[in-house]
Amino acid sequence: MDSILPEHERLLRLLALKRHEVPPPGYFDRFADRVVLHIKAGQVPAPEPWWARLREWLVTEPALAGSYAMLVTGGLFFALSVYHLSDRGASPGLISPHHFGAVAAMPGPATDAAAKRDLEKIQFRLQPEVVTNRTNPRTGR
Amino acid sequence: MDPSDAELVRHAQGGDIECFNELVRRHQERVYGTLYHMTANHEDANDLAQETFIKAWHALGSFKGESGFYTWVYRIAVNKTLNFLKQRRNRTPQMSLNDLDQNAEHDPDLVALVSEHTPRRDAGLAELQEHLNAAMLKLSEVHRMVVTFHDIQGLPHEEIARIMDCNVGTVRSRLYYARQQLQGLLSDYLK
């Protein structure tokens, strides 16, 4: 007789099996008391830290999190390109590390005088060598 | 005469935790049952059921009585379960409640299912249960929930619509689709 029942009737009978799945004996005798104990102990579900909430959000809303990550990355690239462009244009408002190098190498009045003195010393030291190396093209001495 | 849910809620809202305890006792089995059929794991169902009632206690002030207490608690349970299942998608659920109660062996419907009329007559109740649970877990969360509420717990369509915050038509179509899927997955046991 069972075999002549429509399939959905048989499915409903099969699903009825789930009603017999029960927790361990005595489980419900203590359940309500445990809940009340938790409440009395003030065991409010503790607010999760921000990183746990972020992790949960990343797991539950992957598409949204992906879009957000792309937006942040795009913003970062945009900021970097603006920075480089302004650096090339030597905008006075922006100071790059190259500016520091350029300022250090720039000759000023004090460095000019020192450089002249160094040059004179070098020339003075070179002079005798130039004289001793001088030979008479006719005698070869 | 036992006080109604509404009376118990009123007292509980005034801080009477014993009245809340009575509300938990009244609805614990169905809430736990829903959570178990959704998660297929006793430990997860236990944790979620406790969290549901603790949250209900703390949110009791916002309960206006526009719906029944159990509809309101079910809503909390449904939201908690859906959030939990979204997080659990990465790991395979472990069935943990494979023992059937003793009445199962004497249930005429189940006896008929494993009788000589079924093509899989060698299948015992345990095997049947295993396949049934595996098929249930293949349904999407909302479809599994509708089957749990209607076909296992016997709630009417209108009540399910209120709990799941959708219209009755959606409940009916979800139920139809879920049953179609289950029939396909369990065809060996339904011929």
Residue-averaged pLDDT of chain A: 69
Mean pLDDT of B102-115: 60
Give the Cβ contact number of residue B145 at 10 Å: 24
**A63 vs B: CB within 8 A:** no
Q: Nearest-CA distance from B13 to chain A in Å?
A: 14
Q: What is the rounded distance in angstroms from the CA atom of residue B18 to the CA atom of residue A61? A: 39
Contact A23 B86 (CB under 8 A): no
Q: How far is CA B68 from CA B5, B8, B13, B14, in A?
A: 8, 12, 15, 18
Residue B24 binned pLDDT confidence (cut-offs 50, 70, 90): very high
Tens-place pLDDT, residues B126-159: 788 888 888 999 999 999 999 999 999 999 999 9
Q: What's chain B's average pLDDT? A: 84
Section B180-185 average pLDDT: 92
Name every chain A residue with its beta carbon within 8 A of the beta carbon of B125.
Answer: 17
pLDDT of residue A18: 85
Tell me which of A31, A43, A55 to substitute to probe the interface with B (most B C-beta atoms closer than 10 Å): A31
> In the structure, what pLDDT confidence band is assigned to residue B31 with cuts at 50, 70 and 90?
very high
Give the model confidence (pLDDT) of A23-36 as tens digits.
Answer: 888 889 989 999 99
Please give the backbone phi and psi of residue A21, each rounded to the nearest 5 degrees, phi first: -80, 115
Q: At CB < 8 A and 24+ separation, what contacts does B139-144 make?
A: B139/B178, B139/B181, B139/B182, B141/B38, B141/B81, B141/B82, B141/B85, B142/B174, B143/B174, B143/B177, B143/B178, B143/B181, B144/B37, B144/B38, B144/B178
Q: How many whole angstroms separate alpha carbon B73 and alpha carbon B76?
A: 5
Higher-pLDDT residue of A64, B129: B129
For residues A98 and B96, give the distance between their C-alpha atoms in angstroms, rounded to a whole number: 66
Residue A94 pLDDT greater than 60, yes or no: no
Which chain B residue has the Cα nearest residue A13?
A: B109
Q: What is the mean pLDDT of residues A12-31?
A: 86
Q: Which residue has the higher pLDDT, B6 or B89?
A: B6
Q: What is the pLDDT of residue A131?
A: 46
CB B36 to CB A32 under 8 A? Answer: no
pTM, two decimals, is 0.61
Residues on chain A touching B95 (C-beta within 8 angstroms)? none
Residue B118 confidence (pLDDT): 52
Name the band, by pLDDT with cuts 50, 70 and 90, for residue A20: confident
In angstroms, the separation between the Cα of residue A90 and the nearest Cα of chain B is 51
Digit-coded pLDDT (tens) for B48-76: 999 999 999 999 989 988 889 999 999 99
ipTM over 0.85: no
Question: Mean pLDDT, to the nearest integer, of B154-172?
Answer: 94
pLDDT of residue B95 exceeding 60, the answer is: no
Answer whether residue B161 shows pLDDT above 80. Answer: yes
